[in-house]
Chains A and B, each alone.
Chain A
Amino acid sequence: MIKVKNIEKTYRKGSVSTPVLRCVNLAINRGEYVAIMGTSGTGKSTLMNILGCLDKPTSGMFEFDGVDVSKLDDDTLSTLRNKKFGFVFQVFFLLERTTALDNVLLPLIYADKYPTDAIQRAKKALARVGLEDRTKYLANELSGGQQQRVAIARALINDPDVILADEPTGNLDSDSTSEVLEIFNRLHKEGRTIVVVTHDREVAVQAHRILELRDGKLFENDARAKLEN
């Protein structure tokens, strides 16, 4: 499903170049639950942004469902993100003065056709994350955990192929963290492909595959062992 080969990403500011990713190779199959770990500044979010077609690598190949993403234009990438990916961010990124329901409906506005049962779908998505009685609450009236659950519901509304979560529990307390992880586990059992970027051990061990970013490269084999030790 996701194939990444020799990806490199270097940030340039004036004459200063900062390589972040060096020769990253990765393959993720449909239905897998993958955690990408690393300390701060190792390029986890950079890799996540490339996988989510939000950013382009400096060099290398990224294939999604057999399509070379680097050859796609901006509009096609936007459509790909709308249809295939569901994003969950550390800072939630909800529209604050908008209701939970309207936040969940947002991706549908950019779909090819606005579904006639949009409201029902949004309510169902909120129910899946346990927020069926919070549909009319404004986002800034919800707790951090509730906001992240709304973000997950929004990520699910278009029935995406992949959920991409960048430090999804980074701003949550332990109870909310458990709620969110439980939702991810449930989604994975339903057959969803989930890629989580995290520095949190508790989050990473939930995944079936754990990869570690070190010095700009991705390592898998000893990652789980190191974690469990």
Chain B
Amino acid sequence: MKVTKIIASSYKILASHRLRTFLCISSVAIGVMAVVVMVSMGRGAQKRILDMIRDMGTNLIVVNAGHVTLVGGRERQSAIVTTLKPADADAIQDHCASVADVAPETSRKMNVQWESENLMTNVVGVTAAALQIRNIEIETGRSFDSIENDTARRVALVGTVIVEKLFFSGEDPIGHQIRIGRAPFEVVGVMKAKGVDANGVDRDDRVLIPINTAMRRLIRITYIQKIHIQVANSKKLQRAETEIRELLRERHRLRDKPDDFTIQNQATLVQTERQSTRTLTLLMGSAAAISLLVGGIGILAVMLTASRERKKEIGLRRAIGARRRDIRTQFLLESLIIAGTGGFSGASIGLLFTFLASKLGGWNTIVSWDATAVGLALSVVIGLLFGIYPASKASSLEPIEALRAK
């Protein structure tokens, strides 16, 4: 038997039952397309989250006062803790060898007003160094410097959401006076838009002021909520975390008590997010792969029907010299042609959809070649698995009973 001739013959037979063949191919194609698209979307989502984490700063460790947990993807402080002080930030800078720079921070939700417009927003007190550590860029105007911080001047950097909501008539906010609470502040700069961070916080909906101004003149507190710490390089992140924990426990005299602070290590965060998005991607891909089973059942149904309808043809082929394995090969090849064509079509459509969604729709998708290969391989396996039974059934027919079939 010439396999190429059988393949050609199989193509003609499948082509002669166009609708049935098309429906079967489609069911496999949809399954493979789903695998490709789901995994691509999962990979895209993973990259977006990782980019957001990295966008928060490079080689970053964040020390939070008290116990901070993630609730619905957002940070929540369980209680107000007053043990974290600006001197802790200085001590970390001075004594932790792995640390390159530190930026203490305190914040509160306050009312911000300009002329008759006002809104509640996050007012964050930071040092001048914070802008560099946290990758904050200036769109227009300038940042405030360390002297303005030391002298607790009332100057402010505003985010683009503040500009939209307060200065919606299009006026340039630079140089204007806004009120934060009751205190007047001069707007010296507008921050570049950054969007929502990995913790779900809108980084454009805030006002940055010098930390000393926030602590002494506005909120009137002696404690801080956070310290952003930039580590010298990524390899030192774990060591830096250990050094910082030991230093703060000593400074806060904790001895046997638990930490009164929480340390977020960016590397750990990246790893956790990577694992969780990988799990999610795997789940989505597996769900899509299960849909391939539907395609397989379709192939099984079609080929079983075909072996029943084509009994006389099987009888004829056996009469003119086909062996059992020739019949089995033919039917199996027909299953594989259906599955392979479906797999290839589904992969192509899936890749095209992923590409177009990314380019035209702005979706976060990354073309996943390994998922495409897996989808294609799965379609072939499905074709084999679900084609073997009908093929065996067809080949088991005796020629005379096949010829006599009604």
Q: Which residues of A contact B (CB under 8 A)?
A: 49, 52, 54-55, 74-75, 78-79, 81-83, 87, 89, 93, 95, 97-98, 102, 106-111, 114, 154, 158
Contact = CB atoms under 8 A, between A and B. Distances in A.
Interface in B177-218: none
Contact of A109 (B2, B319, B400): B2
A178 B308 CA distance: 36
B5 interface: yes
A78 B322 contact: yes
A95 B324 CA distance: 19
A78 B323 contact: yes
Nearest to B16: A97
Contacts, number: 68
A54 B320 contact: no
Nearest to B322: A110
Classify the interface of chain B: helix, strand, loop or mixed: helix
Contact of A93 (B312, B323, B324, B400): B312
Interface of B: 1-2, 5-6, 9, 12-13, 16, 312-313, 315-326, 399-400, 403
Given A54-B399, A81-B321, A93-B403, A109 B1 contact: yes
A114 B1 CA distance: 7
Given A95-B313, A110-B1, A79 B400 contact: no
B320 A87 contact: yes
Contacts of A82: 320-321
Contacts of A74: 323-324
Contacts of A81: 319-321
A50 B43 CA distance: 65
A91 to B, nearest CB: 8
B403 A111 contact: no
A52 B321 contact: no
A174 to B, nearest CB: 27
B87 to A, nearest CB: 89
A198 B188 CA distance: 110
B321 A78 contact: yes
A111 B20 CA distance: 31
